[in-house]
Amino acid sequence: MSAREVRCGCGAINDVSFGTCIRCGRRLGEPEEAESPRARFARAAIEPQRSTFGKAAMLLGGLCSVVFAIQLSMALKAGKVPLLSGGRAEDAYRAGAMISSLQHVAAEPFRLLSSVYAHHGLLHFGMNMLGFVSLARSAEGLVGSGRTIIAFVFTAIAGNVATVGYRELSGEPAMISLGASGGILGVMGLLLGVLVRRGDPAWKNLAINTLFYAVLFGFAVNATNSSVLINNAAHIGGLVAGLALGLLWYRRGARESAASTAVAGVAFLASVASVALSLVTTRGL
């Protein structure tokens, strides 16, 4: 575990800023004998689910890694080291990137999902994966692996829809869009929604961090007029969608239902299919 993580007596790994365990609800730092009957019951309910912890992070992070490996091979063939750049625009498009216009999305709607798994260079990929793995581990202990997959896919699509909508309404020119940030902010919003509904005071610290990463950081970077552009519409769209899911699922716990497992399977298979479609597409930019 990192210095930012603390393990509860129920086995769940929490961020040090959390006041209560995301899995069993017990206040962190309390001795085992001080556990309330309600928290003990909640912990017992999720005990059989420990073996599934990490599946969402593994599957979704693995797909992102496979797609980035494909992008890396394309960039190296072109003689470029993709540190801050994902290589040629046509290669990024082949790997799944989306053009943020209604016309392009209507022609290839699968890019609303495939673009989530492509990244703009090694730094972009590394930062997103570090953030995602940490958040996904917390979310899986909170709502289960299946619902974490559902939340990531749903909020990532919501972020891309917000991106296209913003471009169409603002009249700004369409741009190439890629990256898992919308889904990552969606998982962060999921955690925030659950903590708020539980009345855990840790939601305040998480809200400050969320505000920084979702809004302030993005607008500050864009204000520098550098070559790096942050997709704030995707961040905000994913965050709002994730917050809604957190407010809805706060009592679900980590126990997986057959329905959530089935929907998660469909969501992941749709993700794989969207990437495959982008790799075989004959449509150009």
**Helix axis angle, 145-170 relative to 232-249, nearest 10°?**
140
Best-predicted range by mean pLDDT (45-49, 74-78, 165-169): 165-169
**Share of the chain residues as helix, strand and coil, in percent rounded to the nearest 5:** 65, 5, 30
Share of the chain above pLDDT 70, in %: 77
pLDDT of residue 283: 73
3-state secondary structure 66-100: HHHHHHHHHHHHCCCCCCCCCCCHHHHHHCCCEEC
Residue 46 has pLDDT above 60, yes or no: no
If 0-12 CB within 10 Å is exposed, 13-18 middle and 19+ buried, where does residue 265 land?
A: middle
Number of CB atoms found within 10 A of residue 79's CB: 7
158-191: pLDDT as tens digits: 999 999 999 999 988 888 999 999 999 999 999 9
At 274, list the tokens: 């969207």
Whole-angstrom distance, CA of residue 149 vs CA of residue 79: 36
pLDDT of residue 255: 81
Domain over 53-280 is classified CATH 1.20.1540.10: yes
At 253, list the tokens: 């716990």
For 29-59, the DSSP string reads: T--GGG--HHHHHHHHHHGGGGGGTTHHHHH
pLDDT of residue 21: 74
Q: Write down the pTM of the prediction.
A: 0.79
At 120, list the tokens: 């703009």
Closest of 258, 135, 219 to residue 185, by C-alpha = 135
Give residue limits of the domains in the chain.
1-52, 53-280
**223 or 41: which leads in pLDDT:** 223
Q: Which contiguous run of DSSP H or E holds residue 14?
A: strand 13-15
